[in-house]
């Protein structure tokens, strides 16, 4: 009987220790709870009422009525919102500050060709970064086209004209003859749907889409190890001993973080190199732009690690806070899924993170064919972000354990 009692006292003591450890509570409860909430909120627009949702840009050059009837047929789906756009907006999938997943361009002669029983072509432009909304919108267009066959349109036009000439004729017989005649004249698919990436984008594979997001996330986990290492040196007293040397605190921390920065650049460069050479990952039109984004993202992540070390009191606390923050930044910032599928307020929140600005620049180069000058705004924001984290981290960091 004494052994179970002793075991109980030992267990109770450990429970009390964990209860007083904020880091343990974050790891056990706070982190999974917040991640579940963020994931659920982020994916809520995708499955509203069990139906996917998306906004389709439409450029309708058709001067007849058939083009508008097709648009109405697509819009009849409860998950599709139609947005009128110019031709250039459809090709680039841009309108103001918003980015859309897909666009449809209807040619000027669409009605004339469909009513004449001739083959006509619809053009779809899609955002290659959209792995959910773009396929859904394309499916809705193809579904409408399949229901909207040129044979049926030609038959209805023929029936209408035939009944005008001979009202006594039976509508059923006229429709059957008109359908057969129209079908016999079809030499190819009545309406062809051609899809291609938006202007500037290249043909992509899965690694083009997935590698950047996960590379940035694991880069942040890498600098978390650097933050823990800094706290370990402080706990052992080796960091405090450096203060006797004729060197400033900022120089000491800068030197320590330079090693973390070098490792971070090496890590993300190797991930992109393996993706490119082993899996044919696209690296974009500007190698200089990609190098800039890699360097500035690594710098900002490293500065974030220093700030984390300054805020946390212990290594365990740094680990708990770091894991929570990195998971939330990755979910909000687009490392797990494209930001176009999340609610607008979460897109705004996402751009408070390192991930979102880094991926805006990197994916702009890889997926959308942007050049060096196009990604300078994202690089500038990241550099300012990292500089602020670095300066605050130096100011707050304590070289000796309290």
Q: What is the CATH number of the domain that holds 186?
A: 3.40.1710
As a whole number of angstroms, the distance between CA 44 and CA 260 comes to 38
Contact residues for 134 (Cβ-Cβ < 8 A; gap 6+): 54, 101, 102, 126, 127, 128
Pairing label, strands 191-197, 120-126: parallel
Whether 48 is covered by a domain: the verdict is: no
Q: Whose structure tokens read 């209408």? A: 160
Indicate if 328 and 373 belong to the same structural domain.
Answer: yes
Contact residues for 103 (Cβ-Cβ < 8 A; gap 6+): 56, 57, 58, 59, 85, 89, 90, 91, 93, 124, 125, 126, 198
Indicate if 251 and 367 belong to the same structural domain.
Answer: yes
Whether 402 is covered by a domain: the verdict is: no
Indicate if 82 and 209 belong to the same structural domain.
Answer: no
Whether 4 is covered by a domain: the verdict is: no
Indicate if 260 and 367 belong to the same structural domain.
Answer: yes
Q: Are 171 and 194 in contact (CB under 8 A)?
A: no
Closest CA to 134 of 213, 51, 57: 57
Look at residues 163, 178, 197 and tell me which one is the last residue of a structural domain. Answer: 197
* pTM confidence score: 0.72
Whether 82 is covered by a domain: the verdict is: yes
Indicate if 155 and 212 belong to the same structural domain.
Answer: no
Pairing label, strands 94-95, 80-84: unpaired
Pairing label, strands 120-126, 102-106: antiparallel
Domain that holds residue 30: 20-42+205-396
Q: What is the pLDDT of residue 377?
A: 95
Q: What is the pLDDT of residue 255?
A: 81
Indicate if 192 and 254 belong to the same structural domain.
Answer: no
As a whole number of angstroms, the distance between CA 104 and CA 121 comes to 11
Indicate if 82 and 129 belong to the same structural domain.
Answer: yes
Whether 157 is covered by a domain: the verdict is: yes
Query: How many folded domains does the chain comprise?
Result: 2
Whether 131 is covered by a domain: the verdict is: yes
* Cα pseudo-dihedral 344, 58, 335, 359, rounded to 10: -100
Look at residues 167, 197, 227 and tell me which one is the last residue of a structural domain. Answer: 197
Q: Whose structure tokens read 């203060």? A: 243
Indicate if 218 and 183 belong to the same structural domain.
Answer: no
Indicate if 29 and 174 belong to the same structural domain.
Answer: no
Look at residues 197, 222, 239 and tell me which one is the last residue of a structural domain. Answer: 197
Whether 91 is covered by a domain: the verdict is: yes
Contact residues for 263 (Cβ-Cβ < 8 A; gap 6+): 222, 226
pLDDT tens for the 402 residues of the chain, in order = 454 655 555 555 555 555 555 555 555 566 666 666 666 666 666 555 555 678 899 999 988 888 888 888 888 888 788 888 888 888 888 765 567 888 999 998 888 887 776 778 899 988 877 777 788 888 888 888 877 655 555 555 555 555 555 665 555 555 555 555 554 444 455 678 878 777 666 666 778 888 899 999 999 998 888 888 888 888 887 777 777 777 777 788 888 888 888 889 999 999 899 888 888 888 888 899 999 999 999 999 999 999 999 988 888 888 888 888 999 999 999 898 888 777 778 888 999 999 999 999 998 888 877 889 999 999 999 999 999 999 999 888 887 776
Indicate if 210 and 193 belong to the same structural domain.
Answer: no
As a whole number of angstroms, the distance between CA 393 and CA 6 comes to 45
**What are the tokens at 247?**
């060197």
Phi, psi at 98, each rounded to 5°: -100, 145
Indicate if 225 and 104 belong to the same structural domain.
Answer: no
Whether 72 is covered by a domain: the verdict is: yes
Q: What is the pLDDT of residue 63?
A: 83
Burial of residue 302 (CB within 10 Å: 0-12, 13-18, 19+) is buried
Indicate if 214 and 183 belong to the same structural domain.
Answer: no
């Amino acid at each position: 009987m004494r052994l179970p009692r002793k075991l109980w006292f030992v267990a109770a003591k450990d429970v009390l220790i964990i209860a007083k450890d904020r880091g343990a509570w974050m790891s056990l409860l706070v982190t999974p709870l917040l991640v579940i909430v963020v994931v659920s909120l982020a994916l809520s627009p995708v499955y509203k009422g069990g139906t996917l949702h998306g906004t389709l840009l439409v450029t309708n050059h058709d001067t007849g009525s058939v083009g508008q009837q097709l648009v109405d047929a697509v819009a009849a789906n409860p998950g599709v919102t139609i947005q009128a756009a110019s031709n250039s907006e459809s090709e680039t999938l841009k309108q103001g500050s918003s980015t859309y997943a897909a666009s449809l361009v209807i040619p000027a002669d669409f009605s004339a060709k469909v009513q004449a029983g001739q083959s006509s072509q619809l053009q779809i432009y899609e955002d290659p970064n959209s792995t959910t909304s773009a396929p859904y919108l394309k499916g809705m267009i193809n579904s409408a086209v399949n229901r909207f066959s040129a044979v049926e349109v030609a038959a209805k036009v023929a029936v209408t004209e035939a009944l005008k000439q001979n009202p006594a004729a039976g509508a059923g017989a006229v429709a059957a003859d008109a359908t057969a005649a129209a079908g016999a004249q079809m030499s190819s698919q009545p309406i062809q749907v051609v899809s291609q990436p938006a202007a500037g984008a290249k043909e992509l594979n899965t690694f083009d889409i997935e590698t950047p997001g996960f590379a940035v996330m694991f880069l942040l986990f890498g600098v978390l190890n650097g933050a823990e290492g800094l706290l370990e040196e402080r706990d052992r007293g080796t960091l405090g001993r450096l203060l006797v040397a004729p060197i400033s605190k900022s120089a000491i921390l800068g030197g320590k973080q330079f090693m973390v920065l070098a490792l971070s650049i090496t890590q993300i460069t190797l991930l992109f190199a393996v993706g490119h050479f082993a899996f044919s990952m696209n690296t974009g039109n500007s190698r200089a732009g990609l190098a800039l984004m890699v360097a500035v993202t690594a710098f900002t992540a490293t500065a974030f690690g220093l700030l984390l070390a300054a805020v946390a009191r212990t290594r365990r606390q740094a680990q708990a806070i770091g894991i929570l923050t990195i998971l939330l930044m990755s979910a909000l910032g687009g490392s797990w899924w494209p930001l176009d599928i999340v609610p607008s307020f979460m897109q705004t929140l996402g751009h408070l993170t390192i991930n979102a600005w880094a991926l805006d620049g990197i994916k702009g180069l890889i997926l959308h064919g942007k050049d060096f000058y196009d990604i300078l705004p994202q690089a500038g924001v990241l550099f300012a972000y990292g500089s602020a984290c670095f300066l605050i981290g130096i100011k707050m960091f304590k070289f000796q354990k309290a």
